[in-house]
């Protein structure tokens, strides 16, 4: 991969030591850039527009939530450097080859949801930036087509693009942030608006946590070429942590400010009114083009998950670049049609989608991390993981599946959703802490069951 070849030749295969390369700053710029897009700005504005938080409480909530999400995300990233595998195929070691298929399919659904949402919001940003002549179709099509091209090249090009986006879009967001916080009129509106709400505060923390944890199912896809040394794994962790945390906090802070100043739901439409026609359009176009990077990452990860799912039933299948392009084209076409059909409250639907992701992903993440760091200390049989039948890990792992089910059920009394409020959440004034309960319950259940297995020979605890 470091031989000058631009198009990546591998998909879900183990990356040999001879092909490992990269620097920690490559991961920092990639994850920093991955969040500098209009959907992050609009999501940040939810704290002020939907939950009514003041700028101080909004920033505290986003900081806490993103810090938790970045920590879990970075732990997953370090797995890639050690094992040289994409994240979801590594889940076979915990759940078995067929058991892990459930989470692979959930992750593919997550990709489609994020890709569709970023297409819709990014297409709107490009349309507002270039003018009505571009049209919704044109904005969405540009974001989709370039994303397909970059994803087809693969790992190396996506990393390089992240470096470019970090400086271009990052610079625009920094300028926009300084502008809105330094202007007397906008600063007064920011400081005098909003209040504290416990429900809103907890909701924003949860959204911030899952915003970065949502990268957990594929963060290893972008670290699996990194050196497998101890120093390499530590650097991978910290570069991913700070890249994801700072890259998310910056646009979300800007979103909070725009929401407090604009006092309207359509945050992107308010940009030109706040910044003026010239910079407003430049900012929207710059943020919209970030989707080239974000959508390429979503497509690339969804391809690896799709290959993992198909390989579960097609033994010894080891596809290359052509397969990656074909699957990327199919998924992008589906997301394009979904984005074109989206209307009405896009962010309301996105918020509901984020909530569901929180409840589903947290227990999976807890089990995966506990098994990797506490139970097996990162020692796995890579040949068995790559085998369609699961090798020594089998097709199902009852302990992990039972712990996951327990984590899901433990959240039910704490849920606070539009169509259901659990009894404990109701007693807490609709404060939703289900994700935290699911994290502790699933991790505890899996660790408890693993302690009994340790007295026997734990399947699959081998040295790489």
In a domain, 248, yes or no: yes
- Across residues 17-29, what is the average pLDDT? 77
What CATH number is associated with residue 131?
1.10.4160.10
pLDDT confidence of residue 370? 93
Q: What is the DSSP letter of 371?
A: I
Report yes or no on 80 lying in a domain.
yes
Q: What's the rounded mean pLDDT across residues 92-113?
A: 84
Classify residue 163: in a domain, yes or no: yes
- Rounded CA separation 163/173 (Å): 15
**Who wins on pLDDT, 120 or 246?**
246
Query: Does the pLDDT value for residue 253 go beyond 90?
Result: yes
pLDDT confidence band for 299 (50 / 70 / 90): confident
Tell me what pLDDT residue 462 has.
47
Q: Give a yes or no: residue 320 inside a domain.
A: yes
Cα–Cα distance measured from residue 369 to residue 407, given in angstroms and rounded to the nearest whole number? 14
Mean pLDDT rounded to a whole number for the chain:
81
Residue 380 pLDDT more than 80?
A: yes
Q: What mean pLDDT is predicted for residues 152-160?
A: 71
Burial of 203 from C-beta contacts in 10 A (0-12 / 13-18 / 19+): buried
pLDDT at 316 exceeding the cut of 70:
no
Q: Does residue 362 belong to any structural domain of this protein?
A: no
Burial of 21 (0-12, 13-18, 19+ CB in 10 A): middle
Residues counted in the chain: 464
C-alpha separations of 83 from 91, 189, 243, 307, 308 in Å = 12, 50, 22, 18, 16
Q: What is the mean pLDDT of residues 49-53?
A: 88
pLDDT for 133: 63
pLDDT at 65: 94
Q: Report if residue 418 sits inside a domain.
A: no
pTM: 0.81
Residue 324 lies in a domain: yes
What is d(CA 25, CA 77) in angstroms, rounded to the nearest whole number?
14
- Answer yes or no: are the C-beta atoms of 75 and 90 closer than 8 Å: no
Confidence of residue 29 (pLDDT cuts 50, 70, 90): confident
Confidence band for 441, pLDDT divided at 50, 70 and 90: very high
- Counting the structural domains of the chain, the total is 1
Evaluate if residue 79 carries a pLDDT over 80: yes
Phi-psi region of 4 (alpha: psi -120 to 50; beta: other; left: phi over 0): left
Q: Which two tokens stand for residue 150?
A: 């970059």
Whether the predicted pLDDT of 407 surpasses 90: yes
Which of the listed ranges 65-74, 150-159, 185-194, 283-292 does the model predict with the highest average pLDDT? 65-74
Q: Cβ(289)–Cβ(273) under 8 Å?
A: no
Handedness of CA 400, 401, 404, 410 (dihedral sign): negative
Residue 210 within a domain:
yes
Query: Comparing 26-35, 293-302, 343-352, which segment has the lowest mean pLDDT?
Result: 343-352
Q: Domain containing 63: what range? A: 23-345
Whether residue 432 is predicted with pLDDT greater than 80 in this model: the reply is no
């Amino acid at each position: 991969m470091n031989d000058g070849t631009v198009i990546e030749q591998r998909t879900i295969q183990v990356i040999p030591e001879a092909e490992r390369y990269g620097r920690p700053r490559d991961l920092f710029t990639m994850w920093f850039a991955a969040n500098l897009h209009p959907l992050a700005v609009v999501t940040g504005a939810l704290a002020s527009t939907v939950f009514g938080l003041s700028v101080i409480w909004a920033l505290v909530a986003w900081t806490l939530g993103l810090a938790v999400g970045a920590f879990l995300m970075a732990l997953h990233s370090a797995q890639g450097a050690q094992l040289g595998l994409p994240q979801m195929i590594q889940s076979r070691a915990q759940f078995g080859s067929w058991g892990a298929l459930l989470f692979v399919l959930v992750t593919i659904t997550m990709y489609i949801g994020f890709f569709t949402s970023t297409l819709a919001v990014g297409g709107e940003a490009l349309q507002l930036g270039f003018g009505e002549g571009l049209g919704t179709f044109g904005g969405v099509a540009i974001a989709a087509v370039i994303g397909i091209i970059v994803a087809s090249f693969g790992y190396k090009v996506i990393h390089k693009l992240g470096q470019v986006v970090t400086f271009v879009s990052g610079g625009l967001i920094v300028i926009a942030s300084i502008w809105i916080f330094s202007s007397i009129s906008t600063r007064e509106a920011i400081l005098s608006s909003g209040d504290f709400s416990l429900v809103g505060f907890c909701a924003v923390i949860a959204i911030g946590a899952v915003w970065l944890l949502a990268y957990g199912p594929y963060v290893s896809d972008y670290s699996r070429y990194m050196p497998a040394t101890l120093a390499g794994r530590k650097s991978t962790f910290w570069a991913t942590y700070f890249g994801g945390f700072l890259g998310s906090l910056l646009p979300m802070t800007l979103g909070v400010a725009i929401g407090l100043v604009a006092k309207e739901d359509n945050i992107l439409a308010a940009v030109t009114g706040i910044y003026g026609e010239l910079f407003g359009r430049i900012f929207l176009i710059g943020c919209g083009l970030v989707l080239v990077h974000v959508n390429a990452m979503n497509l690339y990860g969804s391809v690896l998950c799709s290959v993992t799912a198909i390989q579960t039933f097609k033994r010894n299948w080891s596809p290359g670049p052509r397969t990656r392009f074909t699957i990327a084209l199919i998924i992008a076409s589906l997301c394009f049609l979904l984005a074109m059909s989206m209307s009405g409250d896009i962010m309301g639907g996105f918020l509901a989608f984020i909530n569901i992701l929180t409840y589903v992903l947290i227990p999976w993440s807890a089990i995966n991390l506990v098994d990797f760091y506490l139970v097996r200390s990162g020692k796995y049989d890579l040949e068995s993981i790559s085998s369609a039948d699961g090798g020594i890990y089998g097709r199902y792992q009852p302990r992990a599946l039972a712990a996951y089910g327990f984590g899901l059920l433990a959240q039910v009394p704490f849920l606070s959703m539009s169509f259901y409020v659990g009894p404990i959440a109701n007693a807490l004034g609709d404060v939703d802490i289900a994700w935290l309960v699911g994290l502790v319950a699933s991790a505890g259940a899996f660790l408890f069951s693993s302690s009994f297995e340790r007295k026997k020979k734990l399947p699959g605890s081998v040295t790489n």
